[in-house]
Amino acid sequence: MNNTTVRVEDPLQLAAGSFNNGKRIGTMKRKAMSRGGPIPVRTSKGNADVLARLKRLDRTQRHAVLATTGRTGPLVSLIAFVLTNDSKGVVFATPTSTAKYRNMRKDSKVSLLIDTRENNRRDYLKAEAMTIFGRAKEIKEGPQWAELATLLASKHKELEPFIAAPTTALIRVTISRCVHVGKFQEKTEWKTTKRTR
């Protein structure tokens, strides 16, 4: 079969090639990919108010993807989260029997992804993604546990029995850095300021 270059208007077809009954009928060329169209091909520096976006994501999104590192490599898990009242941490709960819990006990460095995708073509330019970097710590029972467990349960009422279960660990991630990406490749970074003693 001869590969021929065809003009494809649909960006999804352009990305995947054009198919007819399972056979590729066109290919794209790198030069064609980099010219024209609304999708930017290079990363640009953004000027988003990252802290404001993080607070908005906390209000509008219920779930995040947690990345931990284990003996066999990285692990990603879906979690229900809440931002702490001072916006310096993220709280979630996990069973103590899970791989992510074991991973965090061995290596507290984690990252989380919160995004606004709707799984359609508008996502390329409309969706926002926030990557949060920080360290995870299990919160033991006491005043802080009660405060953070109540905060998490107020956002996720369905999870209240799960949060309170003795087999569940309450985790707080202290945020060190956030990276916001919007409009496909517009990147803004925000770092927490360390207090001087």
Q: What is the pLDDT of residues 41-51, one digit of tens each?
A: 776 676 668 89
The string of pLDDT tens digits covering residues 58-91 is 999 999 999 999 999 999 999 999 999 999 999 9
Answer yes or no: is pLDDT of 102 > 60.
yes
Residue 40's pLDDT is 72
> Is 3 a domain residue?
no
- Over residues 165-187, the mean pLDDT reads 93
Q: Is residue 35 predicted with pLDDT exceeding 60?
A: no
Structural domain contains residue 138 = yes
The answer, yes or no, to whether residue 196 has pLDDT greater than 50, is: no
Q: Are residues 170 and 125 in the same domain?
A: yes
| Mean pLDDT value of segment 183-194 | 81
> CA of 111: how far to CAs of 15, 96, 107, 140, 189, in Å?
29, 19, 12, 22, 14
Report the predicted TM-score, pTM, of the whole model to 2 decimal places: 0.78
* CA–CA dist 46, 67 (Å, integer): 24
Do 120 and 95 lie in one domain? The reply is yes
Residue 32 shares a structural domain with residue 114? no
Rounded Cα distance between 161 and 146, Å, is 14
Query: Are 69 and 17 found together in one domain?
Result: no
Same domain, 18 and 104: no
pLDDT-based confidence at residue 134 (cuts at 50, 70, 90): very high
Tell me: do 15 and 103 sit in the same domain.
no
> In this structure, are 21 and 78 located in the same domain?
no
Q: Is 33 in the same domain as 49?
A: no
